[in-house]
Amino acid sequence: MDILLLILGLLLILAGIIGCILPGLPGPLTAWLGLLVTIWAKVIPDDWSFIGVSFVVVLIITVLDYIIPAIGTKKFGGSKYGTFGAVIGVIVGLFVPIPGGIIVGAFVGAFVGELIKNNDAPQAIKAAFGALVGFLVSTGMQLIVTLVFLGIYFKILKDNWAAIANLF
């Protein structure tokens, strides 16, 4: 059973990495679940404080994933309409079954929001570009967190290799 849990943990972490890039799968949360499943193996010592702290990190990253595109919109001169549009676009983009749906959603949402506000296409494009930059920053943060989780997974295996080897 321990080997199955260790394999499932790795698969969840890898799915989390993929989920950072593809819409529809919450990357950091999926990777965190991989770490949780990993410590359920009897050969791995429980570290509930690490699991708790890493879960808080996942929650913060998840919230920032929705906020950063809006901040990017604002930093590039967008109004509250563009910011609100970027947030709506990211949410709508989650449900659009195309690669990059969230990216397109953030861009189009900020663009439409700015057009509603002042009907200035060049300014709307600038604000939409800010939303795109914000989304890319957010995706990068998620990817870094999930890659750190992958590194932690391999460190857990390395630190407990003697006990794991006895399973075979």
pLDDT digits (tens, 9 = 90+) for 46-86: 889 999 999 999 999 989 887 887 787 778 877 888 878 87
Q: Which residues of 27-45 are buried (b: 16+ CB within 10 A; e: fewer)?
A: bbbbbbbbbbbbbebebbe
149 token code pair: 């989780």
Average model confidence (pLDDT) across the chain? 88
Query: Domain tally for the chain?
Result: 1
pLDDT digits (tens, 9 = 90+) for 4-19: 999 999 999 999 999 8
Q: Which residues of 120-135 are buried (b: 16+ CB within 10 A; e: fewer)?
A: eeebbbbbbbbbbbbb
Range of the domain at 33: 2-165
DSSP-derived secondary structure letter, 44: S
Q: Which of 40-44, 70-74, 109-113 has the lowest mean pLDDT?
A: 70-74
pLDDT digits (tens, 9 = 90+) for 131-163: 778 878 888 999 999 999 999 999 999 999 999
Model confidence pTM above 0.95: no
Name residue, tokens 């630190």. 159
